[in-house]
């Protein structure tokens, strides 16, 4: 019950990694509000992080009168964003990914910082931000921006708020369904531990960062050894 009495907001908390983090936080004693474009229920706030950040944070704050932890998971998950054809990177695709993964993360973090007395902000990045990626260049750029943002926010908000990033490798969520068998085999073979990560394992890292009081401005890599950084 390491988060007993805490209130957490998890964007993108209705599926995949976000859902696993929300579940783990509840099991650790936190009151958890999830946000998403299709979020439903008494402990949910519906909205788009790029356009509705202030509304999302205000909605979470009203439910419990405080906010202690923000986990920014919301991001674009779309097969068209993964291409090695530079000409396929349209302005619309660029704006969609940057708007959600980068601008949305910033806007929700800024809104959360306004209402937090003390707390933790966690951002979600990915190992392509550290290593580059032949496919998914827009995703790589957006997630690299999240890492720079995390370090800057950690400096701006210390000591009141700690800000850290989680850079995930190949976690087995919906995107794996796009992969043909050969590609899935190649991904697995590139991971020294020989398998995709589980959303629940990503949640364990989030739990650590949400409960630790002497870490900020850091990027924690969880990738089964794939990047070896």
Each residue of 21-80: pLDDT tens digit?
Answer: 999 999 999 999 999 998 999 999 999 999 999 999 999 999 999 999 999 999 998 888
Each residue of 64-123: pLDDT tens digit?
Answer: 999 999 999 999 988 888 888 999 999 999 999 999 999 999 999 999 999 999 999 999
Specify if 186 maps to a domain.
yes
Specify if 102 maps to a domain.
yes
Specify the pLDDT at position 180.
81
What is the number of other CB atoms lying within 10 angstroms of the CB of residue 213? 9
Specify if 133 maps to a domain.
yes
* E strand spans, 38-140: 44-46, 69-72, 119-126
Residue 44, both tokens: 């949910």
Distance CA 44, CA 62 (A): 12
What CATH number does the domain containing 120 carry?
3.40.50.720
pTM of the model: 0.95
Specify if 124 maps to a domain.
yes
Specify if 150 maps to a domain.
yes
What domain count does the chain have? 1
Specify if 1 maps to a domain.
no
Pick the more confident residue, 182 or 103.
103
Residue 191, both tokens: 């991971």
Give the range of the structural domain holding residue 75, as residue numbers without chain letter.
7-222
Q: What are phi and psi of 120, to 5 degrees?
A: -130, 135
Residue of 139, 142, 173, 216 marked active site: 139
Specify the pLDDT at position 79.
85
Specify if 228 maps to a domain.
no
Distance CA 187, CA 196 (A): 8
139: annotated active-site residue: yes
Specify if 50 maps to a domain.
yes
Element (H, E) at 228: none
Each residue of 108-149: pLDDT tens digit?
Answer: 999 999 999 999 999 999 999 999 988 889 999 999 999 999
62 exposure class (CB count in 10 Å sphere: 0-12, 13-18, 19+): exposed
């Amino acid at each position: 019950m390491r988060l007993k009495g805490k209130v957490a907001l998890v964007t993108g908390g209705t599926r995949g990694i976000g859902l696993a983090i929300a579940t783990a936080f509840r099991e650790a004693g936190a009151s958890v509000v999830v946000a998403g474009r299709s979020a439903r229920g008494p402990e949910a706030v519906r909205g788009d992080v790029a356009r509705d950040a202030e509304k999302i944070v205000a909605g979470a704050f009203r439910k419990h009168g405080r906010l202690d932890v923000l986990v920014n998971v919301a991001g674009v998950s779309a097969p068209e964003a993964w291409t090695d054809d530079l000409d396929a990177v349209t302005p619309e695709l660029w704006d969609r990914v940057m708007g959600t993964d980068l601008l949305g993360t910033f806007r929700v973090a800024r809104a959360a910082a306004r209402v937090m007395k003390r707390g933790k902000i966690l951002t979600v990045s990915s190992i392509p931000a550290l290593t580059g990626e032949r496919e998914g260049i827009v995703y790589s750029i957006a997630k690299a921006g999240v890492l720079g943002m995390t370090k800057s926010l950690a400096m701006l908000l210390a000591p009141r708020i700690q800000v850290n990033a989680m850079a995930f490798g190949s976690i087995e969520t919906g995107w794996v369904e796009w992969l043909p068998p050969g590609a899935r085999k190649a991904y697995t073979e590139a991971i020294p531990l020989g398998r995709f990560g589980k959303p629940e394992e990503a949640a364990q890292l989030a739990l650590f960062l949400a409960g630790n009081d002497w870490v900020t401005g850091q990027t924690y890599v969880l990738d089964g050894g794939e990047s070896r950084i």
